[in-house]
Amino acid sequence: MMRSTVYLRVNRVEAALCARARATSVSDLHEAAYAAGIEAVGRTLMSPAMRPVVPGVRIAGPAVTAHVAPGDNLMMHRALVLAQPGDVLVVVSDAPTSGAQWGDMAARYALKLGLAGVVVQGCVRDTDALRAIGSATWATHVLSTHPDKAGHGSVNAPVVCDGVRVEPGDLVVADGDGVIVVPRRHAAVVVEAAEARMRKEDAMMPLIEAGSAVWELSGAAASYAKLAVQEIDAAFDDPQPPR
Q: 60-64, 157-161, 182-186, 215-219: which range is least confident on average?
A: 215-219
Domain boundaries, the chain: 5-195
- Percent of all residues in the chain with a pLDDT value above 90, rounded to a whole number: 84
156 or 234, which is more confident = 156
Residue 39 has what pLDDT?
74
DSSP characters for 160-177?
Answer: EETTEEE-TT-EEEEETT
Assigned fold of 5-195: Glucose Oxidase; domain 1 (3.50.30)
pLDDT at 1 over 60: no
Torsion sign over Cα 26, 187, 57, 78: positive
**Could you give the CA distance from residue 190 to residue 168 in angstroms, rounded to a whole number?**
18
190-206 average pLDDT score: 92
48-77 average pLDDT score: 97
pLDDT digits (tens, 9 = 90+) for 90-147: 999 999 999 999 999 999 999 999 999 999 999 999 999 999 999 999 999 999 999 9
pLDDT at 40 over 80: no
Partnered with residue 72 across adjacent β-strands are 148
Q: What is the mean pLDDT of the chain?
A: 94
pLDDT digits (tens, 9 = 90+) for 205-238: 898 888 989 999 889 999 999 998 999 999 988 8
- Percent of all residues in the chain with a pLDDT value above 70, rounded to a whole number: 97
Residue 238 has what pLDDT?
86
Q: Going by C-beta distance under 8 Å and a sequence separation of 6 or more, which residues neighbour residue 201?
A: none
Q: How far is CA 30 from CA 22, 166, 193, in A?
A: 13, 15, 10
Q: Encode 1-14: b = buried (16+ Cβ within 10 Å), e = exposed.
A: eeeeeeeeebebbe
The model's confidence at residue 2, banded by pLDDT at 50, 70 and 90, is low
